[in-house]
Amino acid sequence: MTAAARAYAQPMTIVASHEGRRWALFKRRSRSTAIFVIGLLLDMVCVMNVPGSAEFLPASESSPKLTTQGTLLVLLAAACWATVFYRDRAPIVVAIAGGILLMVGTSYVLALIGAYRLLLRYPQRTVLISTVTTLAVAFFVGREMLTGWGHAFPWLLARDGVGNDPKWGITSMTVAVFSLGVTAALVAYRRARVEASLSRVRVEQLHERADALGEQLARQSERERIARDLHDALGHRLSSMALAAGAFESQAAGAPIDPALAEWARLVRRQAHAALEDVRGVVGGLRLEQGETFARPVSMRMVGQLLADLRSAGQQIEAYVVVESIERVDPLRDAAAFRVLQEALTNAMKHATGSTISVTVDAAPERGIRVRVINALVLSTSHSSSGRVGIAGIRERAAAVGGTAWIGPHEGHFLVDVSLPWQ
């Protein structure tokens, strides 16, 4: 996707998201309004359950008339049913309001709605909530069957104002059992949906973890292959060079030969051994798991030995090295600084053989880490390819730890100037 396409698609995505939230909010409010209206109309009829709330005319010649008590109960029902708008955020309020209507004697529908929301909110208290709800509904039905309460059913079903017929008590019990069963079924359905959603999330997480492990195994396999190739190829050549230098050193020790040449052979052997150790270190690092560290990391503590070895080999080096609080530096940046200096010196010796190399290493917590290597600018193409690889490696090392690198000709010299953060 082009930048223009991304810039166009992003606002559309935001608008769609806003529209989706608005539509969800509209549906939620519409559902709450419908529940409120239907529930209030039901309880306006069920007000007749309460003795003294309605006047039933003989022979059911007309609809019952509400008394002052009935009117007050209707207003109470309206106030209680208004809590359905907060059933998601405060289900306990809905349950209390439903309990009030249940105890007053209008209906237990709002109490069932509150119990439903409480069962979804507190699944660990299922037994307690279910028991209290069942007992409350049983109390409501028993009161209708054994007392003068419960005139709403006869009037709703047969326009009969007399509620003492046993068939109406059986009907009330049947409706109560059915209502409790529907509530339990809805709770089980919603919980099953939640469990299914959680299961899908877990499966997706397991798939992602499996993919990550697969990628990690593939990277580890590739590191093992690189480590084997590096060890077999470069390790063999360095070992052969070290053996040859050792044999030459042994012959020089028992023969009349220039002592400088013997020292040179000793230096070559020592450098070959050091290079072989570096190769083993790199191989070991390639074979490490993520989060592990190699036993012998390089550090700016080794700068002095590095410069001493190059001077012993005859290289002219002017060095200014100031390293403070080396134990507090980040190990990654410590190693990166040393490798940058090592590669810059290798590049300088390769392209400006015999010239003086100026080295500056300044590292301190308040100043950060700075490595500068300056050598004579020699226009040569004999090592142009390897030089580009070394320069690219320096830039990559610096960028990997959040540093900067300036490399190129400067006032008749070739300059490598690298700055790394302390932490």
What tens-digit pLDDT sequence spans the chain (423 residues)?
Answer: 444 444 434 444 444 456 767 777 778 888 889 999 999 998 888 888 888 887 766 554 566 778 888 899 999 999 999 999 988 889 999 999 999 999 998 889 999 999 999 999 999 999 999 999 999 999 998 888 888 787 776 766 666 555 556 677 788 888 899 999 999 999 999 999 988 989 999 999 988 888 888 888 887 777 676 666 665 556 556 655 666 666 666 666 666 656 666 666 667 766 666 666 666 666 665 555 544 444 446 788 888 888 887 887 778 889 999 998 888 888 888 888 988 998 888 888 877 777 889 999 999 989 899 999 999 887 654 444 555 667 888 888 888 888 999 998 988 889 999 999 987
Residue 297 Cα distances to 111, 138, 287, 291, 363, angstroms: 70, 77, 14, 14, 18
135-150 per-residue burial string, b: 16 or more CB within 10 A, e: under 16:
ebbeebbebbbeeebb
Confidence (pLDDT) at 7 = 42
Task: Give the residue ranges of DSSP H helices in 56-165.
Answer: 68-81, 91-104, 109-121, 126-146, 152-158
Q: In which element (H, E) is residue 10 found? A: helix 3-46
Residues 20, 28: Cα–Cα separation, whole Å: 12
Confidence (pLDDT) at 263 = 67
Residues paired with residue 321 on neighbouring β-strands, in sequence order:
361
Confidence (pLDDT) at 399 = 87
Instruction: Work out the number of other CB atoms within 10 angstroms of the CB of residue 180.
Output: 18
Take residue 241 and report the two structure tokens written for it.
């060079």
Q: Is the dihedral of CA 153, 167, 138, 180 positive or negative?
A: negative
Work out the burial of residue 112: count CB atoms within 10 Å of its CB; fewer than 13 is exposed, 13-18 middle, 19 or more buried. Answer: buried
Confidence (pLDDT) at 329 = 86
- CB–CB of 74/46 below 8 Å? no
Give the E-state strand segments of 286-367 in sequence order: 317-323, 357-364
Q: Please state the length of the chain.
A: 423
For residue 243, give the nearest of 215, 213, 273, 263 by alpha carbon: 273
Contact residues for 122 (Cβ-Cβ < 8 A; gap 6+): 129
DSSP string, 197-265: HHHHHHHHHHHHHHHHHHHHHHHHHHHHHHHHHHHHHHHHHHHHHHHHHHHHHHHHHTS---HHHHHHH
